[in-house]
Structures are given as C-alpha cells and as structure tokens.
Structure 1
Amino acid sequence: MAMTVLVCDSVPVVRDGLKSLLSEAPDVTRVSATGNAVECLAMTRKSKPDVLITDLSPEGMDGIDFVHRVIRENAQKRDGRPGAVVFASDMTDRVIETLLRAGAITLLEKETGREMFSPR
C-alpha cells in the first residue's frame, strides 16, 4: 500500500535524514518535510498525508498541542486521520498518556535506530 509522509522536526539533520531514509522505502510515494509547526499544519491541510512523523519540539507550537491539532483538523476534513508517529527524548507516563489520547498511533524514543524505519 503506497503512502505519503510528512516529517516535522526542528533539527535539520534529523528532518533531512528521515526524509532521505523514507524516500527510499518502496511503499512511500511522497515525503515532505518542515521544521515549523504552523507550516506543517498548512502542508497537512494541502497534501493530506497518510502519516505524520514529528518530535515534540517543532518551531512555533507546543508539540503535544501540535499533534492534537493536526489529528483533529484532519479528522474533520476526511474519513480517518493521519497516523501520527511521535518521537521524543522525554517519554514520561504523562506525555505518553496525553499523546495517545490525542490520537498518536506510535511513540518512539529519540534513541530509536534505523531498523524501526527500514523496509523489511
């Protein structure tokens, strides 16, 4: 199943690395990337990605509020919502619970290795 992906991370090397890695995956048809939460919201509205990959520190907005807003806005505009994959270095119980309630489908620690994203 082909999918489109949007990456939002304020660190260029992380953002560009994920974009490059995912562009090589056979089931990914398009990868877009930004470091700014407001720009990401606009890109999400326009391109309606299947998956959003974001950290919890995008420029311009609190990460948890950002994830909640992206999911809520997309749920209103089409059937379903983008799968939100969130990664962070501080995964406290409160953060995990809040993100899952907001609708994140996967939570990863920043130390997650390449094997989690590589095609099998």
Structure 2
Amino acid sequence: MTVRVVLADDQPLVRSGLRVLMADAPDIDVVGEAGTGAEAVRLVRDTGPDVAVMDIRMPGMDGIEATGLITAAAGATRVLILTTFDDDEYIYGALRAGASGFLVKDMALDDILGAIRVVAAGDALIAPSVTRRLIAEFAARPEPALHPRPIGNITEREREVLTLVGRGMSNSEIATHLYISMATAKAHVARLLTKLEARDRVQLVITAYETGLVTPPR
C-alpha cells in the first residue's frame, strides 16, 4: 500500500528536504505541500492523503488549528506533528486537537519514514521512550489534572491500564506490571479505545491526565 502524504511547513527548505528524503521510499508518495495551516486544510480536503505531516508554527492559521479542522472532518487523514520539540510549547494543544503523534525535525530518515507508516496504519506514534519525554514537555502546561472529570463505563482493571498507558508504558510493560499476558493487555487497551472513543493511544494518554489518573511530573 502506498501512503499518500501532504507536507505542511512554512519553510520551503524543510518541505523540499523532506520530499527528497521520501522520494526513495517506494511506499510513500508526497501528493502536495503547504506553507500555511489554511493551505494544508485545503490541500488535505482536495487530495485526501493518508497522513498530513504538520508543522506547528506557521503564519496565519497555525498547525494546531489546522490539525483540529483536519481531524474533525469526515475523511481518514491522520496528522503527524513536525516540531523542533525542545522549544515548542504547543505539543499538548496539537495532540488534543487530534494529532496522532509527532516527529522531531532532526530525526533520522528511517525514523521519519517509520513514523509516517505507523500513523498511516492507524496507530499512534507514542513509543514508551517518546511518551515519557512528551509527558515532561506538554502534560504540565495546561490545566487538565487541575479539573479532573469522571470516567464512566470502564472497569477497575481498565482504569489501572489507562493509568499505566498515561505513564508511558507499552503493552508489554503493562502486561509485566499487572502480571497478565500481552494479549490481555492489548485487549484492555482496545476496549479503552472503544469505550472512551479515543482515536489512538495518544488520546488515551491525554485522557489519563485530563481525568487526574496521572499527574504531571514536578
């Protein structure tokens, strides 16, 4: 399957560099480029790509607003945030807007291509090591844990699993921690996705913070 990608970044050199890097990947096809959030939304609407690789800081409509508009539409396009990360204060907002993960601009080519494939397959780019760093960056900034909301319709075990997902654990780590099989851990995560109407694992992490199950590191 060929993954159709739209690149959205206000720096032409970044876009052209990414396009060149992706040109040798036989399963990835860049179908368009945008320099603003508004252009990205229009391009996604016109071309219907599998993945939009989205910068956050762009003139006019930024990547967060564009992400929200794209993920709110009926299409199947998923958004992968492109960020400098260390100095970017808007990752939490982008993920709340529906992004399925993020890329760092200085990532290795194989990691960038792998991330696009992961998101296109319907998963979230929320590897354990990345999750822990991500949490340190975005979870403490807004007020989610300050205004917890109840979670209905989940079991006590599912609540435990959601807490561990929020702490950045993978399915195998959850299985080890709870003394259950990997298949059981996966089943619990799958049920949480369904019950909480979450797009992917990223949204489960956010829910764990918003409901106060996990508190930001201090």
- The answer on whether the counterparts of 1:22 and 1:31 sit within 8 Å (CA) in structure 2 is no
- The answer on whether the counterparts of 1:91 and 1:109 sit within 8 Å (CA) in structure 2 is no
* Partner SS, residue 105 of structure 1: coil
Distance in 1, Cα, partners of 2:29 & 2:105: 25
Matched, 1:105 2:93: no
- The answer on whether the counterparts of 1:7 and 1:15 sit within 8 Å (CA) in structure 2 is yes
Larger mean CA deviation between 90-99 and 46-55 belongs to 90-99
Q: Which amino acid aligns with 2:102?
A: L
The CA RMSD measured in Å over matched residues stands at 2.3
Q: Which runs of 5+ in 1 are unaligned?
A: none
- The answer on whether the counterparts of 1:34 and 1:40 sit within 8 Å (CA) in structure 2 is yes
CA distance 1:71–1:92, change in 2 (3 Å): farther
TM-score normalised by L of structure 1: 0.79
Larger mean CA deviation between 14-23 and 104-113 belongs to 104-113
Which one has the bigger strand percentage?
A: 1
Distance in 2, Cα, partners of 1:48 & 1:118: 19
Deviation at 1:17, TM superposition (A): 0.8
Q: Which amino acid aligns with 1:32?
A: G
* Partner SS, residue 90 of structure 2: helix
Q: Which runs of 5+ in 2 are unaligned?
A: 115-218
Distance in 2, Cα, partners of 1:93 & 1:32: 25
Which one has the bigger helix percentage?
A: 2
Identity %: 30
Deviation at 1:93, TM superposition (A): 9.5
Q: Which amino acid aligns with 1:44?
A: V
User: Highest relative contact order (Cα 8 Å, sep 6+), 1 or 2?
Assistant: 1
Residue 83 of structure 1 corresponds to: 78
Q: Which amino acid aligns with 2:104?
A: E
Matches of residues 1-120 of structure 1 in structure 2 within 5 Å? 1-73=1-73, 76=74, 78=75, 81-90=76-85, 95-118=90-113
Structure with greater Cα Rg: 2
* Partner SS, residue 101 of structure 2: strand
Larger mean CA deviation between 94-103 and 23-32 belongs to 94-103
